Structure 1
Amino acid sequence: MSKTSKTDWERLAKMSDQEVDTSDIPELGEDFFRRAELRVPVKQAVTIRLDADVLEWFKEQGAGYQTRINQLLRQYMQAHQG
């Protein structure tokens, strides 16, 4: 079962930052930032077999190709959870 967003993304993309209504979002004060903690996901080195042309395409996109592959896998995972 796929989840459908009710957000009009096209209209939102055309809006400037000033046009976005944030009145229902509380401001984050000094206390929030004092208590905030940075949490970076733990990376694990793995061996994975990819089709040569797929890997070559990602490498041609430049530095950070492994991060982009991870981002795509995360998006796929999140789309298929729950």
Structure 2
Amino acid sequence: MDRKQQIDRLNNMADADIGYTDAPELPDAVWNKAKRAKFFKPIKVQKTVRFDADVLNWLESEGPGYQTRLNSILRREIEKALRS
């Protein structure tokens, strides 16, 4: 069986047919302490969004890299929301 056939077979497998004996479910307490991998790099997507002019001016006033700063601010807020 070639690789594509193996992948197709797995994709078509019902959840009930998947064996988890070698990968037991972990309690929520373990996942609550989980950290993102050091080399995790999320996929970037391009979107068109609208901001208040003063918000954009503030981001740009810090110099180049305003999109990276905006992404960091949003990620920090997401992580804070997920912790609460």
**TM-score using structure 1 length:** 0.50
Measure the CA separation in 1 of the matches of 2:63 and 2:42. Answer: 23
- Structure 1 counterpart of 2:16: none
SS in 2 for 1:80: helix
Q: How many residues end up aligned between the 2 structures?
A: 46
Unpaired stretches in structure 2, ≥5 consecutive residues: 1-38
Unpaired stretches in structure 1, ≥5 consecutive residues: 1-37
- Structure 2 counterpart of 1:56: 57
Measure the CA separation in 2 of the matches of 1:45 and 1:68. Answer: 16
Larger helix percent: 2
**TM-score using structure 2 length:** 0.49
Identity of aligned residues (%): 42
TM-aligned CA deviation for residue 81 of structure 1: 1.1
Residue-by-residue CA offset, 1:8-56 (whole Å, 9 max, x unaligned): xxxxxxxxxxxxxxxxxxxxxxxxxxxxxx4421111111111001101
